[in-house]
Each structure stands twice: as structure tokens, then as C-alpha cells.
Structure 1
Amino acid sequence: MRFGSKTLRLPRSATARIAVGAGLVCGGILGFLPILGFWMIPLGLLVLSQDLPSVRRWRRSMIVRMERRNGAPDRRRQGKNNRREAEKDRPEP
């Protein structure tokens, strides 16, 4: 899993990844205790999204929502605009 320039290695076994993700979420719920923190919940959900389709759909919808809110260009529309510009550059027959 990559976070910008940082890489986090996950276990190869799906069972181990689910256990790590569930442990992080459970530890995050106890975030009011020392050492544990609420930061563990989103990290655990990211790990779980590798293997659980329901969490993966939630993660993708969150990414789409964040991209729309931050004004990231829509890749599908960008392709259409490039075709329109290419049509304008073509000479008339």
C-alpha cells in the first residue's frame, strides 16, 4: 500500500490482512486510551479494503467524493474535451 512516497508492506495472506485491519479498527475504537489512537480506524479500514468488497466500495465512494469536492478534473470529461479539441484542429474537407 502506498501513501505518497511512503510504502507500507501488508501480509500476503488475506486472513492476516483481515486480522491486522480488524485489530487496527478495534484499537482505534479504544483511542481514548494511551498509546492507541483514533488514527487507527481509517488505517484499519484501508487495510480491510484490500479484501472486503463492502469496505472497498465505501473507500472508492469516499475518494470520488473528495475528488469532486477538491475540484479534481473528471477523467472521462477530460477525454471528451481532448477529442473536441482534436476535431477543431482537423482541417475542413
Structure 2
Amino acid sequence: MNRLFDRIQRRMPPFAARWLEWLRKPEARIVRIPLGILFVCGGLLSFLPVLGIWMLPLGLLLLALDLVFLQGPINTAILRGTRKWTTWSRKRRDKKAAR
């Protein structure tokens, strides 16, 4: 789980990476759990204009830091999604190169 957060953190802008780094600390648990629940609820209400489906995985990631039973499924989902994204982008790149 920490390796996945490290990878996400490296790809973020510096101000957001600092915020995520603070949020990952054990003492931020009081903020992390309610924030994760709010993000999941916001993801479920993604049909509203301001909220989006992007909030659901972020909320689940935050909750998985504290809820052990979520860590396995979240890790599996992230790894599968990463593999599918890589496969899709390679196929797309190969199609462009073939033209």
C-alpha cells in the first residue's frame, strides 16, 4: 500500500504531495477516516455536477490505510487497473506507430 501511495505522490504537484504526505502519517487518522468516507459518498453521488467518480477510489485508498480488510481488495484493484491501462496504452501507441 505504501509503495502505491509513494508512486502517486511522485506524480502529484508539490503542494498536493506535501498534503498527502501529512495525511499518511498515523496522527492524521482523525482526519483521514472522515475524509475517506466523504470522498466515497461524493463518488457515489457522481451524477451531481461538482462531485465525480474520481472521489470513490481516492476515498477507498484513504480508508484502506486504516481498515485492514480493505487493503487486499484495493491493492488488487489498483494493480489490475494499472496493468489494463498499460496494455491499453501500448496497443494505442502501437496502432499510431503502424500508420
* Percent of pairs with identical residues: 39
CA deviation string 1:1-39 (max 9, x = no partner): 441332224163323211000000001111100110111
Greater helix fraction, Structure 1 or Structure 2: 2
Greater strand fraction, Structure 1 or Structure 2: 1
Residue 40 (structure 2) pairs with residue 34 (structure 1) = no
The worse-fitting range, judged by mean Cα deviation, of 12-21 and 37-46 is 12-21
- Considering only CA atoms, is the larger Rg found in Structure 1 or Structure 2? 1
Residue 55 (structure 2) pairs with residue 49 (structure 1) = no
Count the aligned residue pairs. Answer: 71
Residue 60 of structure 1 deviates from its aligned partner by: 2.2
Q: Which runs of 5+ in 2 are unaligned?
A: 88-99
Q: Given the two structures, how large is their TM-score scaled by the length of structure 2? A: 0.57
Q: Given the two structures, how large is their TM-score scaled by the length of structure 1? A: 0.61
**Structure-2 separation of matches of 1:68 and 1:42:** 16
Aligned CA-pair RMSD: 2.3
